[in-house]
Amino acid sequence: MEKNINLTLKVWRQKNAREKGRFETYKVANVSTGSSFLEMMDILNEQLVNEGQEPVAFDHDCREGICGMCSLYINGRPHGPDDDITTCQLHMRKFNDGETIYIEPWRSAGFPVIKDLIVDRTAFDKIIAAGGYVSINTGGVPDANALPIPKDDADEAMDAASCIGCGACVAACKNGSAMLFVSAKVSQLALLPQGRVEAARRAKNMVARMDELGFGNCTNTGACEVECPKGISIANIARLNREFLKAKIQD
């Protein structure tokens, strides 16, 4: 049953990457537990605008758990206190009346703050540009039975391809590592014959670009898998390591 709750929000405010940030405290009242978290943020911003204050900048687009833009760190967890969801899929029924909620941007050297809760995630685009694609002519689309792919491989490739690039894995990692993201993008191609021709170049270039952009090292704590809204497995990291080592041996 839906009800209305009152909340205290501790929201990170920061003008840009060069300025120091700080938590600001806001009160919001009569928030329906049927609302999404981003709808609650809309209510806060409407309240701030009516009071003549600057609204909180936060990222969003589809609000359907697809785009990955709603990157908020809520009460110490990427995307908040629920499993296998993005922030836009988080509902206020997960919070209690009178609760204090801490809202922060992703914390990573690879994701500098643009403003308030928005970070620059173009580093992920740069990693993809380093090799997360098939650039050669693999011919036209063959008949389904002309290029047999084991079902287990096809399923794993599809699971890896479900990564939406939200950055929760980076935010969850104590080292700010992007290994889960990179391994998912490598795996979705490495598991299929169309991706094997460029496998060595892809693994080396994407890992090198990831390191260049300031992401940390993976120490296999598994926090990335736990907080990933799409349930991407850390088995992909093991596959990336194998692909990278094979590429280095071939040099």
Residue 250: pLDDT band (50, 70, 90) is confident
Domain containing 199 equals 121-250
Pick the last residue of a domain from 104, 133, 159.
Answer: 104
Q: Is pLDDT above 90 for 148? A: no
Q: Are residues 161 and 64 in the same domain?
A: no
Q: Are 92 and 36 in contact (CB under 8 A)?
A: yes
Q: Is pLDDT above 80 for 207? A: yes
Give the model's pLDDT for residue 126.
Answer: 98
Pick the last residue of a domain from 104, 133, 156.
Answer: 104
Give the model's pLDDT for residue 143.
Answer: 62
Pick the last residue of a domain from 71, 104, 137.
Answer: 104
Q: Examine residue 114 and state whether it is found in any structural domain, yes or no.
A: no
pLDDT tens digits, residue range 83-92?
A: 999 999 999 9
- More confident call, 216 vs 251: 216
Q: Are residues 131 and 220 in the same domain?
A: yes
Residue 92: DSSP 8-state: G
Q: Are 73 and 106 in contact (CB under 8 A)?
A: yes
Contacts of residue 132, Cβ cutoff 8 Å, sequence gap at least 6: 185, 186, 189, 202, 206
Q: Are residues 80 and 125 in the same domain?
A: no
pTM of the model: 0.93
Q: Are residues 22 and 96 in the same domain?
A: yes
Contacts of residue 148, Cβ cutoff 8 Å, sequence gap at least 6: none
Residue 1: pLDDT band (50, 70, 90) is confident
Q: Are 84 and 230 in contact (CB under 8 A)?
A: yes
Q: Examine residue 96 and state whether it is found in any structural domain, yes or no.
A: yes
Give the model's pLDDT for residue 138.
Answer: 65
Q: Are residues 85 and 190 in the same domain?
A: no
Q: Are residues 151 and 47 in the same domain?
A: no
Residue 121, CA distances (Å) to 137, 169, 178, 243 in order: 30, 13, 11, 25
- More confident call, 173 vs 194: 173
- Phi/psi at 128 (5° precision): -60, -40
Q: Are residues 152 and 228 in the same domain?
A: yes
Give the model's pLDDT for residue 142.
Answer: 63
Q: Examine residue 246 and state whether it is found in any structural domain, yes or no.
A: yes
Q: Examine residue 76 and state whether it is found in any structural domain, yes or no.
A: yes
Residue 166: pLDDT band (50, 70, 90) is very high
CATH number of the domain within which 197 lies: 1.10.1060.10
Q: Is pLDDT above 80 for 74? A: yes
